[in-house]
């Protein structure tokens, strides 16, 4: 990489980090919904998987099953998920999202998009289009 790009790359990296931090610090929406960010992430996985086992969820979240169990206890107490024994294997527990959980997840997604839209509102539509294209290019390069 040419040496003259170093300050620009450094400035860009710092700006990206600051913006990300600012957005994450404003994501109190999860607290308003009564969830932590990891709990919201877990609820999202449960919704996508439809029927999950604790071991699968632990793998997806890259944590131990015991940590998932604690989070599931909280989500179940709030009425967002339900656990049932698997018909095929009575020892296994299947986790599914409830209607109330689906509603809270949709509300969380809506608020996240709203927050991101506020941050991006300084860009003109054509700038936003280019910005999205650049991010997509960077994302695809990482694959």
| Alpha-carbon dihedral sign for residues 46, 49, 55, 57 | negative
Residue-wise pLDDT tens digits, 91-115: 788 999 999 999 999 988 888 888 8
pLDDT at residue 142, rounded to an integer: 65
- Which pLDDT score, from 0 to 100, does residue 103 have? 94
> Would the pLDDT of 4 be above 70?
no
Q: What is the CATH number of the domain that holds 112?
A: 1.10.10.10
The confidence band for 29, taking pLDDT boundaries of 50, 70 and 90, is low
Q: Which residues have C-beta within 8 Å of that of residue 18, sequence separation ≥ 6? A: none
Domain holding 54, by residue range, is 13-141
Q: What DSSP letter does each residue of 65-96 carry, written as one string?
A: HHHHHHHHHHHHHTTSEEEEE-SS-TT-EEEE
Per the structure, the count of domains in the chain is 1
Element at 50 (helix H, strand E): none
User: Is residue 113 in some structural domain?
Assistant: yes
- Asked, for residue 42, whether it belongs to a domain, the answer is yes
Element (H, E) at 3: none
- Asked, for residue 2, whether it belongs to a domain, the answer is no
DSSP H or E run through 47: helix 37-49
Residue 61 lies in a domain: yes
Any domain includes 108: yes
Q: Kindly report the pTM of this predicted structure.
A: 0.70
Q: What DSSP character marks residue 33? A: T
Q: Is the pLDDT of residue 21 over 60?
A: yes
């Amino acid at each position: 990489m040419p040496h003259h790009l170093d300050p620009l790359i450094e400035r860009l990296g710092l700006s990206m980090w600051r913006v990300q931090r600012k957005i994450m610090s404003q994501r109190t929406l999860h607290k308003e919904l009564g969830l932590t960010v990891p709990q919201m992430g877990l609820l999202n996985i449960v919704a996508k998987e439809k029927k999950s086992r604790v071991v699968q969820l632990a793998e997806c979240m890259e944590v131990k099953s015991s940590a998932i169990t604690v989070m599931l206890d909280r989500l179940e107490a709030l009425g967002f998920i339900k656990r049932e024994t698997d018909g095929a294997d009575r020892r296994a527990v299947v986790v599914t999202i409830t209607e109330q959980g689906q509603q809270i997840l949709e509300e969380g997604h809506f608020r996240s998009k709203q927050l991101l839209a506020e941050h991006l509102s300084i860009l003109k539509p054509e700038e936003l289009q280019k910005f999205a294209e650049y991010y997509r290019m960077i994302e695809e390069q990482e694959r």
